[in-house]
Amino acid sequence: MGEILVTGGTGTTGKLVAQAMARLGLPHRVGTRAPAAPHHVAFDWTDHALAAKALEGARAVYIVAPTDRSDHGRVVVPVLEAALAKGVTRFVLLSSSMLEPGGPMMGEIHAWIAGHAPEWAVLRPSWFMQNLITQHRQSIVEDGAIFTATGQGRCGFIDAQDIANAAVAALTSDAAWNRDHILTGPDPLSYDDVAAALTAGLGFPVRHVPLTEEDCAARWRAKGMDAAYAATLAAMDGRIAKGAEDRVTDAVSLLTGRSPADLPDFIRRHRDAWGDEFQTQKG
Ligand SMILES: NC(=O)c1ccc[n+]([C@@H]2O[C@H](COP(=O)([O-])OP(=O)(O)OC[C@H]3O[C@@H](n4cnc5c(N)ncnc54)[C@H](OP(=O)(O)O)[C@@H]3O)[C@@H](O)[C@H]2O)c1
């Protein structure tokens, strides 16, 4: 049968994909630049020889492109060409609801996969609920605030667990999907709605502070973020403000047979992620 190589297997979605594989007893290995467990294998998208070695004997690959660069066609596609030559048949790409095939970054990989892979799927999730415990956690805990340039724009926030469930289905289904799917949670929410859900779920006030794109980018830069990445994130907020993400789909239910988690449920399950520092601060 061959194994499934889970790239990005130490990250938000990949870790959940690998956990599901382990639970289901599916042969898999996790590709990481810093192997630290028996099922880990050394893997770096920028080291094509190393990546090719990690692909030996694999039949499928979950693709999380490198998160610190944007030249995905140049860096990732040669690795996928090697994978194809080594007999990998199924390619499942994590892209984004905002990236069209042939567009920048994962859009370049999407176009290659659709044109070359024997079996494939592209998952295009909306914004992760997990951003509230990564990107926005510090301001939620320290300032009781989320700062964005999204205005009143709404977004179909999704739990990464639902993305992982869809990825596992795409990697293991008998028939390949050979298409992309836009994945969202159940509700289109503005960041005002998100702040209200956090306030209700965490028991302390959280507000949404709307910023201009410029101020938003400056804020991320002040936190140490690379200037280009800060500008990209702020511009994406601007697109949300204009309504680009104001939609929900039923793809998660159709693909996994389970309804996607809503935000109050996510907050309840992850309450501890914001709790300790808040308690310390208040104490
Ligand atoms: N956050 C959102 O709201 C959102 C929404 C839509 C789409 N997305 C997309 O989701 C992707 C991020 O996925 P994620 O959240 O599951 O991952 P993540 O938590 O950001 O982790 C990134 C993973 O990529 C691996 N990685 C980074 N550079 C690498 C390289 N050069 N070679 C090999 N591995 C590398 C890291 O592994 P090691 O450090 O172990 O090597 C890590 O496991 C991005 O492409 C983003 O655009 C995010």
pLDDT tens digits for range 176-211: 999 999 999 999 999 999 999 999 999 999 999 999
Q: How far is the CA of 66 from the centre of ligand 1 (A)?
A: 6
Q: How far is the CA of 7 from the centre of ligand 1 (A)?
A: 9
**What are the backbone angles phi and psi of residue 40, rounded to the nearest 5°?**
-85, 145
Predicted local distance difference test score (pLDDT) of residue 280: 47
Is 227 strand, coil or helix?
helix
Ligand 1, residues 67, 136, 191, 194: which to mutate, most atoms within 8 A of Cβ? 67
Tell how far CA 40 is from the center of its chain. Answer: 20
Mind listing the domains of the chain with CATH numbers? 3-125 (3.40.50.720), 126-157+184-246+261-278 (3.90.25.10)
Residue 265, token pair as written in the block: 């449920």
Judge if the beta carbon of residue 232 lies within 6 A of ligand 1: no
Angle between helices 72-85 and 106-116 (to 10 degrees): 30
Predicted local distance difference test score (pLDDT) of residue 282: 43
CA 11, CA 26: separation in Å to the nearest integer? Answer: 19
What pTM was computed for the model? 0.96
Q: How far is the CA of 127 from the centre of ligand 1 (A)?
A: 13
Q: How far is the CA of 67 from the centre of ligand 1 (A)?
A: 5
Residue whose Cα lies nearest atom 15 of ligand 1: it is 12
Judge if the beta carbon of residue 161 lies within 6 A of ligand 1: no
The residue ranges of DSSP E strands in the chain, in sequence order, are 3-7, 28-32, 40-42, 58-63, 90-94, 119-125, 145-148, 154-155, 179-183, 189-190, 207-210
Q: How far is the CA of 282 from the centre of ligand 1 (A)?
A: 33
- Are the CB atoms for 65 and 152 separated by under 8 Å? no
Indicate which atom in ligand 1 lies nearest the CA of residue 46. 31
CA 104, CA 215: separation in Å to the nearest integer? Answer: 25
**Weakly modelled stretches of the chain, pLDDT under 70:** 1, 276-283
Predicted local distance difference test score (pLDDT) of residue 281: 47
> Tens of pLDDT along 34-71?
999 999 999 999 999 999 999 999 999 999 999 888 89
Q: Measuring CA to CA, which residue among 256, 124, 274 is closest to residue 197?
A: 274
Predicted local distance difference test score (pLDDT) of residue 277: 54
Indicate which atom in ligand 1 lies nearest the CA of residue 128. 3
Q: How far is the CA of 203 from the centre of ligand 1 (A)?
A: 31
Q: How many CB atoms lie within 10 A of CB 271?
A: 12
Residue whose Cα lies nearest atom 6 of ligand 1: it is 96
CA 46, CA 203: separation in Å to the nearest integer? Answer: 45
- Are the CB atoms for 156 and 126 separated by under 8 Å? yes
